[in-house]
A and B are shown apart, each in its own frame.
Chain A
Amino acid sequence: MSLPDPELDLSPAPSDEVRQTTCYMCACRCGINVHLKDGEVAYIEGNRDHPVNRGVLCAKGAAGIMQHTSPARLRAPLRRVGPRGAAEFEEISWEEAFETALSWLRPLRDAAPDKLAFFTGRDQSQSFTSLWAQGFGTPNYAAHGGFCSVNMAAAGIYTMGGAFWEFGSPDWEKTQLFLLFGVAEDHDSNPIKMGMSRLKARGVKTIAVNPIRTGYNAVADEWVGVTPGTDGLLVLSLVHCLLEAGKIDLDYLARWTNAPVLIDGDPKSATHGLALRDDEGRQLVIDRRTGKPAPYDAPGVRPDLSGKIRRAGVTHRAAFQLIAERYLSSDYAPETVAPELGIDAGRIRRIAAEIAAAAFDRAVTIDQPWTDFRGERHETMTGRPVAMHAMRGISAHSNGFQTARAIHLLQILIGSVETPGGMRFKPPYPKPATAHPKPHAGCRPGQPLDGPHLGFVQGPEDLLIDGAGRARRIDKAFTWDAPLSAHGLMHMVIANAHAGDPYRIDTLMLYMANMAWNSSMNTGATMEMLTDTDEDGAYRIPHIIVADSYSSEMVAFADLVFPDTTYLERHDCISLLDRPISEPDAAADAIRWPVVEPERAGHAGVRGFQSVLIELANRLELPGFVEDGSAKYENYADYIANHERRPGVGPLAGWRVGERGQTPGRGAPNAAQIDSYIKNGGFFQAHVPEEARYFKPWNAAYQDWAVSMGFYDTPQPYLFQLWCEPLRRFQMAAEGRAAPPPPERLREEVKLVFDPLPIWYPPLSDGLADPVEYPLHALTQRPMAMYHSWGSQNAWLRQIHGVNPLFVPTKVWQAHGFAEGDWARLSSATGEIVVPVAHMAALNENTVWTWNAIGKRKGAWALKDGAPEAKKGFLLNHLIPELLPERGDGYRWSNSDPITGQAAWFDLRVRIEKVKNPGEAFPVTPPQASPVGRGPGVLRRATAAKRKSEAGAGPDGAVGTGPSPGTSAGTSAGTSTEPATDAPQAEGGGIAGMLRRVGAAWRGAGRPRATPAQDAAAPAPRAPEAPIPRGPDAQTATEEDRET
């Protein structure tokens, strides 16, 4: 048969309008083009001009349309009518919602503001929500950083005034070697993919250190599958090798770090371990020109790394000598550490050699003169082109802070931070710990808090404890249990509030945080704490307010729910005051704006929670929001444009009003500022001057530019802190040399872990869970196509990741005689779960893992009860205690890093046993009701415009009614389900043979075996099955078909 080709419309209009805003399908904040047809969202793609994603967009971002139209969207304020946890609600009006909240909040503010605990999850408005909490007067505020990556942020800022992700980026264009430590899809996802692609195009090698070889680790040139929690030891062994070979950048260390600063080396001295200072408090170095001590920042000084001086009977030595002594020790030799790491010593030495070769044989020099903070002019910029990046695989361990510091030590020793080819800071970073505020908890009835909640302590005197050593915050942040908890400890709030330790609270207000499920350790007990009552039958936590966009597991435990908008319906600012979208060469911030109006027909509707907070603030007359009895801001958009944090510095840096027209950075508020952002694609960039692009902490041109932009009010040059004095001050208190001292139970631990130089110690729970009884490590990773709990309501994404088996390495798989389809009981020292298993060979041999947050409670997220997420999906959280077992001293220790309080998710040790298939994952949580009904049975996602054009074209003959061939082509090609890994290797070795095997397996397997990155449905074409009628029974996204 030969027919003329049909006429095709090759130029259909993709939309009648494109509106540009910021994605919120994860935390990366990419720019998106939202295509609209008749005001309805038709298609979402990346914004090519945007500094974060430059046009690309991940699966989550492209699936935003399905989140925006999710059946789990809340529709009206809700008031609880059943028992807590059941999710039985009545819809109420907004006025009732406000008055209910105020009836709880007003008495607290008047009498005891600290009885409100306000914690936010993946909140991108922290500079605003914290201002609200400060105005309310409660010290009990933080966002989710304490259970996410505070180890990474705090270690970076204390060591070098910046960290990975938010604060820094590899120099993708110039690096010659890239090392990734513990990175899955945690953060910065599109930039890492784009960057790794550029490295591959240039033939630059990537070495990935991770127990699991998926994602970035799968495409890396070399995989180092270390034992979980041992990364720090690997890094310090690399430091050992580089020092031993003299492959370090002495000039960089002398000029830009505190390696030459003189440290009191006399154990008998009262200032042992602190820097020698002059009368003005300036740290001293030996000047090689004179051999005499001089302030580190004196003009022309040549700091001496081998400096030494004896003063008043005390010998002070350059910190570098302490570094050399520490790491040259055979304790860190590859041969010593290799057994712990699970990799061989020769490989460590070889990686060290590769680092040295890239750093010193392929150094990068740019012809760009610049002047440093001491006034010295340099004609060029030379860098060591080794870039590193690390994330939660490092930080989610109880040794994560010191491990992150170890990585920074390695970077700095070879001179690869803020130099060409290394790691670069993103404005407003660099900014040292000393330029950040200290934490505050001064709480008085009816008054605002005495300062910002969170900050960077410099010593024990900055802790937030009372005279008896009791915590002043409900999460016990900034106490001896977690002195440097710069992001708070959100994961401890429910447990502490339930226990009334350090005190009882009245109202828990949570925003965007699924604390009754995947964001809490010990999930089952957490749900019990939320529903537990006193003897009088009243809830232990009297009031719970939850703000969320969707019907999550946490919503079920609310007494009052404020329904938030979707990300396409709201105003936001991605601000330089908290977590902006800057790149190393530009300061940048961005907005969200309602590209579609929130409509929930037939319901009271939803409001952006920031605007709800402003309404509450106005009614409570909170300082900062109400002045002289009148409200300063009508809503969040008004706040974004008109709030000034300091004179001339507001939430957005673009298009402010200067003396001569519009100006970036500092300037008066501009009523049309948001319109300017919208015209510019939703973001603003101010480029860093050429001369200021590297050596930023010490570069006079950068410091001046930063002041002009309002990042700080005077230049803030500083030295990288290899020797970390704040840690030493805590250690001194434990040694009895400084006050206040730690409680006796913590004394020895503080002495050990608060080492002013990076150290490695085994994850703390190793001492509690017997490694023989619990021989395996258990981890989670976030899949690239899902973001925490949000993705399962997304009809497209859940077809990719609808289940999460426990992936088991070959040795364990074989030892237990597992086969495909089997189930296992996984036990930790504190709990057990029963889950489906799958085999994975590309995995550390003592590690099991699963995808994070796929498991769901029945009834949540508008899913039907048979959804695999609720039947087979599971959480490891049940195995992870928020408190470690008692050690015989009557005290239960937080399962956290002892320095920062970061949740130690990845310390988990387990044992595994094969069990019969129970049909459903254990534990089974009783279902929650769904206040939004359940999703429709069929979804034809298309705009009205598309359906109209379809109807006009006439789908004549498009529905086949003919007999079905009965089987799919995939099946007809063979029903083998042999996994690719078991295919014979006879087709030849190497890559070519391997790919033939891939092809053969594909051809043979109608349904290729799901491997970690691939839980998607079958590739096989679908044979027609029982016909599904079109017409009235087929539902569309806009039609209601809710089971209630």
Chain B
Amino acid sequence: MTQLPPQSGEGAAVKLGLVIDLDTCVGCHACVIACKGWNTENYGAPLAETDPYGAAPEGAFLNRVHSYEITPEDAPARIVHFPKSCLHCEDAPCVTVCPTGASYKRAEDGIVLVNESDCIGCGLCAWACPYGAREQDPSEKVMKKCTLCVDRIYNESLPEEDRTPACVRTCPAGARHFGDLGDPDSDVSQLVAARGGYDLMPELGTRPVNKYLPPRPKDDEIDVLAPLLEPVAQEPRGFLGWLDRALERL
């Protein structure tokens, strides 16, 4: 089985990852398709579709948005959109389970990748991932997963401002943020601290690098400070009196 790099334990220097704002995500799937587009043409084998125009079109996506309906007891039902992709865990079970060494975690930035030329398509890593973040390509039979756009973020042929994952660059709602979560002073770490960002299913011990920002309070959970309005008059004649006085003050 495959080893994690020694640096990926406590105190690792650089931990690149995403911070995803569940308060702002409108569930538009822009990130899903930007990811699909970039990764069809870039890292590894193209993302192909089987039965693309038929009964059961199926292709690998490295990022998907799921929507959940929440029905609180004391507030109206609501929907939370939940974008999901590889969380680039520090203790990545998908890496340690790999029989060929194809799944690996980069020492220098913590990105978890699949070396497709060593992947035998056995699917063990997908079994091991508790988040369901890996998908076998239905036509290529290799394992596909979020690369954190490793071929964009260091890409010297892109303008510097574009050296960010395709999903982050495209997000119309600004709900996706990319940066070094190993650096407590980075913008993303500051954002996580300010908004109470959290780990997904921390009890599993995978120590995901990606963080989620929770939805802010809504509806009846909000304290409304504005006092109710006081009428200036109870009937039209009184209102016209108020109007005259108010106009005089203008």
Contacts and interface: CB of A to CB of B under 8 A. Distances in A.
Interface stretch (A99-107, A528-536, A953-961): A953-961
B68 A222 contact: no
Interface in B111-160: 113, 115-124, 126-143, 150-151, 154-158
A750 B142 CA distance: 68
Interface in B66-96: 66-73, 76-82, 84
B212 interface: yes
B193 interface: no
Interface string B13-41: 00000000011111111101110111011
Contacts of B150: 8, 10
Interface stretch (A39-47, A156-164, A166-174, A437-445): A39-47
Interface residues of A, number: 168
A243 interface: yes
B11 interface: no
Interface string A668-696: 00000000000000000000000000000
Interface of B: 1-3, 22-30, 32-34, 36-38, 40-42, 45-55, 57-61, 64-73, 76-82, 84, 98-101, 104, 106-107, 113, 115-124, 126-143, 150-151, 154-158, 161, 166, 169-175, 198, 200-201, 212, 214-219, 221-222, 224-233, 235-236, 239-240, 242-244, 246-247, 250
Interface in A123-176: none
A939 B49 contact: yes
A222 B120 contact: no
Contacts of A243: 239
Given A5-B104, A218-B27, 19 more contacts: A14-B155, A14-B157, A56-B169, A62-B34, A213-B76, A306-B247, A349-B229, A795-B57, A799-B59, A864-B55, A868-B55, A939-B52, A963-B122, A1001-B68, A1002-B66, A1012-B79, A1013-B27, A1013-B65, A1013-B81
23 contacts: A2-B2, A2-B3, A2-B101, A9-B151, A14-B41, A43-B41, A58-B29, A62-B36, A244-B229, A250-B243, A306-B243, A356-B226, A795-B53, A842-B69, A941-B49, A946-B42, A957-B118, A958-B117, A958-B119, A960-B120, A973-B132, A989-B73, A1011-B79
B162 to A, nearest CB: 8
B136 A1022 contact: yes
Contact of A1022 (B51, B60, B71, B115): B60
A631 to B, nearest CB: 41
Nearest to B78: A842
B29 A59 contact: yes
A65 interface: yes
Given A841-B69, A998-B80, A795 B52 contact: yes
B34 A841 contact: no
A280 interface: no
B54 A59 contact: no
Contact of B139 (A44, A306, A1021, A1030): A1030
Q: Which 7 A-B pairs have the closest CB atoms?
A: A960-B121, A935-B53, A1021-B126, A841-B77, A245-B229, A866-B55, A795-B52
Given A842-B78, A995-B198, A957 B119 contact: yes
Contact of A213 (B68, B77, B226, B232): B77
Interface string A967-985: 0111011000001110001
Interface in A921-944: 934-943
A201 B69 contact: no
B37 A223 contact: no
A840 to B, nearest CB: 7
Nearest to A41: B41
Nearest to A220: B218
Interface string A989-1030: 111101101111111001011011110110111111101101
B53 A71 contact: yes
A1019 B66 contact: yes
Given A1-B2, A980-B69, A940 B78 contact: no
Interface in A794-841: 795-800, 802, 810, 840-841
Given A999-B201, A1011-B79, A1022-B135, A58 B157 contact: no
B40 A244 contact: no
B250 A11 contact: no
A306 B245 CA distance: 11
Contact of A969 (B25, B48, B100, B132): B132
Interface string A63-100: 10100000100000000000000000000000000000
Contacts of A57: 30, 34, 170, 172
Interface stretch (A190-198, A384-392, A566-574): A190-198
Interface in A631-673: none
A463 B207 CA distance: 71
Given A6-B115, A795-B57, A1 B142 contact: no
A959 B121 contact: yes
Contacts of B77: 213, 810, 841-843, 981
A383 to B, nearest CB: 17
Identify which of B52, B70, B106, B243 gathers the most chain A CB atoms within 10 Å of its CB: B52
Interface stretch (A321-329, A620-628, A884-892): A321-329
Nearest to A972: B127
B41 to A, nearest CB: 5
B138 A306 contact: no
A353 B122 contact: no
A1034 interface: yes
Given A43-B37, A867-B53, A957-B120, A11 B229 contact: no
Contacts of A251: 250
A288 B247 contact: yes
Given A980-B70, A1022-B138, A936 B52 contact: yes
